[in-house]
Structure 1
Amino acid sequence: MTARRSILPPLIFGIVTTAILLSLGFWQLRRMEWKEAMLSEIQAGIDAAPQPLPAQADPSMKYMPVTVSGRTTGEEILVLSGTKELGGGYNIISGFVTDDGRRILLDRGFVTQDYRHSPRPPVALQVVGNLHWPQEKGSATPDPDLKAGIWFARDVPAMAEALKTEPVLVVAAEVAGDAQGVMPIPISIEGVPNSHLSYAVQWFLFAATCAGMTAWLIWRIRRRTY
């Protein structure tokens, strides 16, 4: 009887803790399913048929496929970037005047370090792309180096103020016209993290460890008692 009373507290603690850890693991699996559904919905929106640029575009239209036709202004912002294939470089954000006279931002795509200073005078372009309001600027993001002409994040309101455009960014997926050596980088969900499966595995491992430690502790208590 003494042995049974002595193992009760660690047994209850172990069962409760293991159950909590398991519940956290299953919660992460549910979060993973939710995230996969959300990413599928975003991808479906990205791949939808493009339409003309809305008269009043706002962040609720993020990822909407659009078509724009017009001319770059020759003014641009270089945002520090990089690709796996080409290494470090810059995203070229140009001022863009549409055929109906609107001034917007156009993310034309990527250039390597070697093409940073290449001339990119005003040019007529027809673009298929997606509206975007990226959330890249954090508390640790440096302010733009205006002297060097380099930005460290795409900040739509700040870029619009700098280039005197609407706070509307179109990320090019396809460009007709003289691309001037700029490679379009279409919007993709590949960069959106979905780590819920690894988190779930971690919680399940913690649960297994807790259950094992509880069993070992009870075995030790019973051995000492008898």
Structure 2
Amino acid sequence: MKRVPLVPTLVVGLAVAAMIALGLWQLLDRLPQKEAFLAQLRANPSKPAIAFPTIPDEQLLFRQSSVMCLEPLNQRLAGAGAAGYRLIVDCRTGAEGPGAIVQLGTTRDPGYRTRWTGGVVSGTIGHAPDSRSLIGSLFDHTPTRLMLVAREPVAGLAANAAPDPESVPNNHLSYAVQWFIFAGIAVVIYLVALRRRG
């Protein structure tokens, strides 16, 4: 029987310990944080309406809000599943600042253009579409912009589906399980390698 190699065993041991630590972090730290955040989001629809925020803050998701669109700057269509397309408009809200993004309704016409000239939009705060790729979002930590999903659609459009707190994923338990599985697989592979070596 050959002696167990010290350096490879140390490397595998450190890797397994790191994977277990990541699993525990997801289970004991990130999961409770996400559950508390989701509880807050579920309570937001019943809270009093607020002015549309000028700075992105995910804690305000699903709050009722309103904004004055002084001038529509541009419009675009984004996918809306079975509803077809969402009409999204960038609005000027003052002389300075980032303005606001509003979702005015849905349509099945891929070439739809609105002649809406602006006004007060009331509805629910949701996430604006994010064009960053999954890999890009890992390196770009800019907060996702918020959008006001109109309660009443603009003439010619169908009503929006209200943003739903249940649409926010909570994957931390599955992440923890994955890290523990990875650690177990690494141990099994190394034990098999040691047995073949011996």
TM-score, scaled to structure 1:
0.56
Alignment partner for residue 203 of structure 1, among 179, 185, 189?
Answer: 179
Question: In the alignment, what sits opposite 1:26?
Answer: 24
Question: In the alignment, what sits opposite 1:214?
Answer: 190
CA RMSD of aligned residues (A): 4.2
Alignment partner for residue 87 of structure 2, among 84, 91, 98?
Answer: 91
Equivalent pair of 1:76/1:92 in contact (CA under 8 Å)? no
SS at match of 2:17: helix
SS at match of 1:85: helix
- Alpha-carbon spacing, 1:202–1:170, altered in 2? closer, same or farther (3 Å): closer
Equivalent pair of 2:83/2:106 in contact (CA under 8 Å)? no
CA–CA distance in structure 2, aligned partners of residues 112 and 76 of structure 1 = 22
In structure 1, what residue type is equivalent to 2:149?
Answer: V
Distance apart, 1:184 and its partner CA: 1.8
Q: What are structure 2's unaligned runs of at least 5 residues?
A: 94-98, 135-143
Equivalent pair of 2:70/2:119 in contact (CA under 8 Å)? no
More divergent stretch after superposition (120-129 vs 204-213): 120-129
Distance apart, 1:116 and its partner CA: 0.8
Give CA deviations for 1:83-142 in whole Å, capped at 9, x if unaligned.
22234x232437599xxxxx976422322225714x655698773433x574725489xx
SS at match of 2:46: coil
- Identity level (%): 22
Question: In the alignment, what sits opposite 1:51?
Answer: 49
Q: Which has the larger radius of gyration?
A: 1
Q: What are structure 1's unaligned runs of at least 5 residues?
A: 98-102, 141-154, 157-167
The answer to which structure has the higher strand fraction is: 1
- Alpha-carbon spacing, 1:209–1:138, altered in 2? closer, same or farther (3 Å): closer
CA–CA distance in structure 1, aligned partners of residues 15 and 121 of structure 2 = 60
Count of residues paired in the alignment? 180
In structure 1, what residue type is equivalent to 2:15?
Answer: T
Equivalent pair of 1:73/1:94 in contact (CA under 8 Å)? no
